[in-house]
Amino acid sequence: MPTAARTPQPFMTGPIVVAGIQDAFRKLYPRVQVRNPVMFVVYVGSILTTAVGIAAVTGFGDDAGHPGFVLAIAAWLWLTVLFANFAEGVAEGRGKAQAAALRSTRRQVVAKRLRAPDRAGGYEKVGAETLRIDDLVLVEARDTIPADGEAVDGVASVDESAVTGESAPVLREAGGDFTSVTGGTRVLSDWLVVRVTSNPGDSFIDRMIALVEGAKRGRTPNEIALSILLAMLTLVFLLATATLAPFSAFAVTAAGAGATVPIVVLVALLVCLIPTTIGGLLSAIGIAGMDRMVRANVIATSGRAIEAAGDVDVLLLDKTGTITLGDRQATTFHPAPGVTEQELADAAQLASLSDETPEGRSIVVLAKQKFQLRGRDLAGLPHTFYKFSAQSRMSGVDLEGRRLRKGAADAIRQFVESVGAAWPAAVTSTVHDIARQGATPLAVADGARVLGVVELRDIVKGGIRERFAELRQMGIKTVMVTGDNRLTAAAIAAEAGVDDFLAEATPEAKLKLIRQYQADGHLVAMCGDGTNDAPALAQADVAVAMNSGTQAAKEAGNMVDLDSNPTKLIEVVDVGKQMLVTRGALTTFSIANDVAKYFAIIPAAFAATYPALDALNLMRLASPQSAILSAVIFNALIIVVLVPLALKGVRTRAASAPILLRRNLLVYGLGGMVVPFVGIKLIDVVLNALRLA
């Protein structure tokens, strides 16, 4: 996304407020209002009181003597509807601003579509809008990538600032885990052959625009469940209020005093008792949750994924790049008995020539630094490279009768034993010693001969232990996933403070672990970037795919991290949990509000018939009309007051669910009862001071 969209911005800027006000009036259309049952009741009540007010002005109806009071009630009911629409409009406004910024990145692009799979077959220039899935296009230096796709040939430096906001170029190449390219980004150097993976209108940027605008947000299961609950509460209060009309007529007849409760008062009572506060803010909370995720540079496929993130109680975290700095470097050569250090370094360097991982490159560099061993030109010699893979966990080369291998100790041991050789006990001891220190041992062998061990070291990130402690307090279990052996994994796990770890992790082992946790009733989150991560990502409840990863990983996940930062998984969980806490807190506050409104309106409505009910007038409001109008005004204004909280979210704390629940009830439950008493009384004082009631 454009850099401007990434810069922290106030939640309500001038343009967003103006757009929110405009949307507030646009959303008055009945077809829009009916989507929210709670606010639709207020909407119908506004129409009804307006009609009664017009009749009172013309001298008709029971309220002919109080037209000003009736119209004031009608005006504030309309404002209640408009304030709810405004809250949703402001939330949507931020998304629309981001969508506009994304649209500005799209331009007419001419694509070089290849006539044949081979680059040498030439190309034809076509409009990017004509490209379809599986088309092959050539993208050269200074060209804009015309569509989403995967690099199938070549390597190039790509400027992705239009999507990620980061100005530093990234490397994209065929055949690895960094093959995915995004339409609208630009090649800075070299070239790529890209296989198109999306049709026009289905590109990554198109999906981003639809999501941030809210067009595909969709309501989450919890949001739907809460909407049903609010609708049922509204129905209960509607039936209860409806019964008050015949009860009032009966009471007047039986007591021989007072007057029947006017329909305007009944409408005011209904609107004040139904959960209008959360009803007006519910949609805004969901949209704001999506917005907070986008501002974190994470694109979720739906609000459902964000909500699931809030319920996650198991985090699967890769060691490298997440728990550690991710830059393991070869530091020491440990030769086996009878082997010189230089001999080990020479073999390790040859076995690492085909290993494009940072670890493999660091071995080549260390051999060069310690023994001036330069990179070899093997072009004139018969040789066969064996590239490193997650399955084999080793790399190597067959050269001049030698079978050089370098990799995880257990993998190399299997290789040595497969040719009928014994594994030296001294090497086992070296491996264990290195692993106990939290470093990574890589064994090196020349066929049946074990040459020694290369020590790699990584550094645990600062503050990560404290962060895991906070997650533990929140009831979230952290599991470190690594390809290292168990001893190394145990040492780093202890240093980082994770709850558990999975060592020597293969794609199959990750998938099995996720299924095991899910079978025990847990919700699991993980991140990944490679094709081999796709099965586990598809199985996880919350799956964050790296934008730099393969297309298979991005399709398997339900979120994409534009920054390609594995640590972002923790932030994703924070955003999801904040959305759930915010919704729960404001629901508690809204329902608690009814207590004060009950003590304001019920005495005002029935005190003339039953004078004893005046004892319930705890706030000592000036008059029945002032009491009713004050309650209606407070009911409208509190929505506006809570809009910033709904957009920013309630601050979450590192605590267990019972503690959070107690805090929620104390702050927003008790606060929800106290605040209306104070607010309604202040409004009553103001109204009477100004002689408006």
The per-residue pLDDT for range 384-442, each reduced to its tens digit, is 888 887 777 888 889 888 889 999 899 999 999 988 888 999 999 999 988 887 788 99
172 versus 164: which is more confidently predicted? 172
Return the pLDDT at 609: 72
Residue 660 is which amino acid? L
- Read off the pLDDT band of 451 (50, 70, 90): very high
The per-residue pLDDT for range 18-46, each reduced to its tens digit, is 888 888 999 999 998 998 899 999 999 99
- Read off the pLDDT band of 164 (50, 70, 90): low
Residues of the chain with pLDDT > 70: what percent? 89
Mean pLDDT of 45-65: 80
Q: How many CB atoms lie within 10 A of CB 13?
A: 14
Matching residue, tokens 């026009």: 200
The rounded Cα 379 to chain-centroid distance in angstroms is 49
Edge-first strand listing for the sheet containing 383-386: 329-335, 449-457, 440-446, 402-408, 394-399, 383-386
Instruction: List the one residue out of 679, 670, 675, 646 whose CA is nearest residue 588.
Output: 670
439 in Cβ contact with 457 (< 8 Å): yes
Mean pLDDT of 153-166: 77
Structure tokens at 452: 């020694």
Mean pLDDT of 306-329: 80
Return the pLDDT at 212: 63
The per-residue pLDDT for range 483-520, each reduced to its tens digit, is 777 887 888 888 889 999 998 888 888 889 999 999 99
What does the radius of gyration of the chain's CA atoms come to, in whole angstroms?
33
Return the pLDDT at 335: 94
Indicate left, alpha or beta for 623 from its phi (over 0: left) and psi (-120 to 50: alpha). beta
- Read off the pLDDT band of 327 (50, 70, 90): low
- Which one from 23, 318, 346, 446 is the annotated catalytic residue? 318
Structure tokens at 260: 């029947």
C-alpha distances out from residue 608 to 174, 344, 404, 627, Å: 83, 100, 99, 14
- Read off the pLDDT band of 636 (50, 70, 90): very high
How far is the C-alpha of 412 from the C-alpha of 416, rounded, in Å?
6
C-alpha distances out from residue 261 to 54, 215, 217, 604, Å: 19, 44, 43, 10
Given a cut of 80, whether residue 317 has pLDDT beyond it is: yes
For the ranges 195-199, 660-664, 665-669, 672-676, the lowest mean pLDDT is seen at 660-664
Return the pLDDT at 3: 36
Structure tokens at 205: 């940027």
The per-residue pLDDT for range 581-623, each reduced to its tens digit, is 898 899 999 989 888 888 888 887 777 677 777 777 777 888 8
- 410 as an active site residue: the answer is no
657 versus 392: which is more confidently predicted? 392
410 versus 3: which is more confidently predicted? 410
How far is the C-alpha of 660 from the C-alpha of 430, rounded, in Å?
48
632 versus 328: which is more confidently predicted? 632
What residues are paired with 442 via a beta bridge? 408, 454
619 in Cβ contact with 677 (< 8 Å): yes
Given a cut of 80, whether residue 205 has pLDDT beyond it is: no
Query: Which three-class secondary structure state does DSSP give residue 558?
Result: coil
Give every CB contact of residue 300 below 8 A, 6+ residues apart in sequence. 211, 290, 293, 306, 558, 559
Structure tokens at 405: 């291998």
Report the predicted TM-score, pTM, of the whole model to 2 decimal places.
0.69
> 86-100, 232-246, 539-553 — which one is most confidently predicted on average?
232-246
The number of residues making up the chain comes to 693
Residues of the chain with pLDDT > 90: what percent? 23
- Read off the pLDDT band of 1 (50, 70, 90): very low
Return the pLDDT at 675: 92
Dihedral over Cα of 608, 610, 612, 618: its sign:
negative
Matching residue, tokens 């290292």: 484
Return the pLDDT at 101: 65
Q: Is 361 exposed, middle or buried (0-12, 13-18, 19+ CB in 10 A)?
A: middle
Mean pLDDT of 87-103: 74
Return the pLDDT at 215: 46
Mean pLDDT of the chain: 83
Helices (H) and strands (E) in the chain, counts: 24, 20
Return the pLDDT at 221: 75
Q: Report strand pairing: 542-546 vs 402-408.
A: unpaired
Enter the DSSP assignment of 119. Answer: G
How far is the C-alpha of 499 from the C-alpha of 488, rounded, in Å?
15
Return the pLDDT at 25: 92
77 in Cβ contact with 49 (< 8 Å): yes
